[in-house]
Amino acid sequence: MFHVKHLLKETLKKLNIPEDKRKTEKFLLYFEELWRWNKKINMVSRKLKKDEVLSKLLLPSLLPYKTIKKKERVLDFGAGGGVASIPLKIFKPDIRLCLLEAKKKPVIFLEHINLLLDLDLSIIKKFVEKKEDIDERFDWIFVRAVNPEDIPRGIYEKILYYGEYAGDKFICERKIKKGDNSLSVLT
């Protein structure tokens, strides 16, 4: 666990995120629960080692810490285990986070994490194909394992895509890059 704490501490320092013991403990608990549940339910790729889940999935989720403002409404589209958004919610609890997931087992995990960590998440179990499938509009949509071009227009202001956007349906407003991790802000 020391290795995880050390990497988290280094990442927080690089991203100018204030350290907070309570938030660090929540992050560590989330990481351990995700890893434990992943053995039974495929939450993240089982090809990834534990340290890769941390370094390639969870820590990069803190990159938009300065980009997402207080009280902004964020939708994690196709949330799975919440790796694109829950770490950010832990360290920035004042964002309004909604997780959208169509599959039952990940939703059960997300509900468990919400209760365990007291995160005040909104969780929607639904498959969304068109604008009318969802009642809300969000400031941001976070997308990791979904093609951003599959997200219906009209439910968001901007998309934060975890990776280098290679399509032609969006304008890449800017990139957030730290080390090997890159996020594309799409409009």
Question: Could you read off the pLDDT of 78-92 as tens digits, one per residue?
Answer: 999 999 999 999 999
137: CATH: 3.40.50.150
Please say whether the beta carbons of 115 and 142 come within 8 A.
no
Q: Looking at residue 178, what is its pLDDT?
A: 86
End-to-end Cα distance, the chain = 39
- The whole domain housing 85 covers 2-186
The residue type found at 168 is: D
- Span 175-185, mean pLDDT? 90
Q: Which of 60, 93, 3, 13 is nearest to 178 (CA)?
A: 60
- Span 117-137, mean pLDDT? 96
Q: HEC profile for 49-110?
A: CHHHHHHHHHHHHHHHHCCCCCCCEEEEECCCCCCCCHHHHHHCCCCEEEEEECCHHHHHHH
- Counting the structural domains of the chain, the total is 1
Q: Is the pLDDT of residue 42 over 90?
A: no
High-pLDDT (> 70) share of the chain, %: 99
High-pLDDT (> 90) share of the chain, %: 87
pTM: 0.95
183, burial (CB in 10 Å: exposed 0-12, middle 13-18, buried 19+): buried
Q: Is the pLDDT of residue 1 over 80?
A: no
